[in-house]
């Protein structure tokens, strides 16, 4: 495949090759990024790229669906079995589309939805004002407790009783603690709301048995298919049987046309991988690495939102260091440590130069790194934070990072038979 690209378009080939070298030679700490297996990669680039399959299995609008129907059915059955769901829709092109489809299935435009505020760790599509989810629906946002940096379920319930949302959204994009989905379910029932959970970040941890599953406590669960789940980039919706017709109609024809069958085939492969003991061990190690990284960072005086982590994600509040997130993220990137600057609760700096840094351990864990490497990463982050303007220190650290990466190469095949 690579040689074909090189022959056809050398410019694109060189850019892809450069990206491959960057991924191999960097410690990638963006919590929403990972490495997929060779099998997932091959399915993503298969001949299914050529096929249109608008509609649903046995109810398509094009002929020639003998194999696409089987693939989509297989992906749905594997998703249902892995997560214990009544039904699954694997057609959404992204997690954002999955969220909008779920809201549109259960609420009318202008009705109230309630989700975690973006600066407190929510996602744009949880009703934030710049998202269409915050424009199509009336949005109410709950926040983290200012002292603990954690969800305050009593305050969330009080807000829900006040505003009576049609949909209560649980889940986050930058919350480092375990979410108690049963409490969200109780609140939703008390106010007569649907409970939709967005488990995009933690789907792999749920599959691996290291985080409470939202499935028993939610009417609908949305997710991306990459991140900790380690599949192709796409979206998926899991639901109770009572919501099946509304969800499927909302995805197609409501929001999109033809599904991406090459992505769905790759998702089927990833779901099979996620049902293995090896994947469970991987999910456990993600959490171990994150906790060790958090402990070491705190030992260096970094202030972590909520004081630590229960999952794959760490959010550093840099204000006690007198630093902003963007310059630190840029300096770390020059040292081949890839993170993202991020807002923190109570942040007044604005989203383009916020006061936080968001880190995650899925990708480094995929490479086989464990607690000792997590401690070393924390030391490097401390070193860079203390030497933001010292390019010689940044360069020296970058060489050390690349040496570690060479000892933990990106595996060609993640799941062995």
| Catalytic residue ranges | 52, 54, 198, 224, 227, 233
Residue 397: both structure tokens together: 């650290």
**Among 123, 201, 200, 195, CA closest to 166:** 195
Cβ(289)–Cβ(374) below 8 Å = yes
CA angle 97, 101, 102 (to 5 degrees): 120
Q: Which residues on adjacent β-strands are paired with residue 198?
A: 171, 222
- H or E stretch including 88? strand 87-89
DSSP H helical ranges for 313-367:
325-334, 362-366
- H or E stretch including 116? strand 112-116
The one-character DSSP state at 53 is -
Radius of gyration of the chain measured on its C-alpha atoms: 21
Q: CA-CA distance, 113 to 331, in Å (whole number)?
A: 39
The one-character DSSP state at 93 is S
How many CB atoms within 10 Å of residue 322? 6
Q: CA-CA distance, 384 to 362, in Å (whole number)?
A: 22
**Overall residue count recorded for the chain in this entry:** 417
At 167, is the secondary structure helix, strand, or coil? strand
Cβ(376)–Cβ(41) below 8 Å = no
Cβ(172)–Cβ(123) below 8 Å = yes
């Amino acid at each position: 495949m690579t040689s074909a690209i090189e022959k056809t378009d050398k410019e694109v080939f060189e850019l892809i090759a450069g990206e491959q070298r960057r991924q191999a030679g960097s410690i990638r700490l963006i919590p929403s990024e990972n490495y997929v297996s060779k099998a997932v990669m091959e399915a993503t680039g298969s001949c299914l790229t050529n096929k249109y399959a608008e509609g649903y299995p046995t109810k398509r609008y094009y002929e020639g669906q003998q194999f696409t129907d089987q693939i989509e059915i297989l992906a749905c059955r594997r998703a249902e079995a892995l997560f214990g769901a009544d039904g699954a829709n694997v057609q959404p092109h992204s997690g954002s589309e999955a969220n909008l489809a779920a809201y549109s299935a259960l609420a009318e435009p202008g009705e109230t939805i309630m989700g975690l505020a973006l600066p407190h760790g929510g996602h744009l599509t949880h009703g934030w004002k710049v998202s269409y989810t915050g424009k199509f629906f009336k949005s109410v946002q709950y926040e983290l407790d200012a002292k603990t940096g954690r969800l305050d379920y009593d305050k969330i319930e009080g807000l829900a009783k006040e505003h009576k949302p049609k949909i209560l959204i649980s889940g986050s994009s930058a919350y480092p603690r375990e979410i108690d989905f049963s409490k969200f379910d109780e609140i939703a029932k008390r106010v007569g709301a649907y409970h939709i959970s967005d488990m995009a970040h933690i789907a792999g941890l749920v599959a691996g048995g290291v985080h409470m599953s939202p499935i028993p406590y939610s009417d609908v669960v949305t997710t991306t298919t990459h991140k900790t789940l380690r599949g192709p980039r796409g979206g998926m919706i899991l639901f109770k049987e009572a919501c099946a017709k509304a969800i499927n109609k909302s995805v197609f024809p409501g929001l999109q046309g033809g599904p991406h069958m090459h992505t769905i085939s790759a998702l089927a492969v990833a779901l099979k991988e996620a049902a293995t003991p090896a994947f469970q061990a991987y999910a456990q190690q993600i959490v171990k690495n994150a906790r060790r990284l958090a402990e070491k960072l705190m030992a260096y005086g970094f202030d972590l939102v909520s004081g630590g982590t229960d999952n794959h994600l760490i959010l550093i509040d840099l204000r006690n260091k007198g630093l902003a997130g963007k310059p630190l993220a840029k300096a770390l990137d020059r040292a081949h440590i890839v993170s993202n600057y991020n807002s923190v609760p109570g942040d007044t700096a604005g989203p383009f130069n916020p006061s936080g840094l968001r880190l995650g351990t899925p990708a480094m864990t995929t490479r086989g790194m464990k607690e000792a490497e997590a401690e070393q990463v924390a030391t490097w982050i401390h070193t860079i934070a203390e030497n933001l303007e010292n390019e010689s220190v940044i360069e020296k650290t970058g060489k050390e990072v690349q040496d570690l990466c060479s000892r933990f190469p990106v595996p060609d095949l993640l799941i062995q038979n």
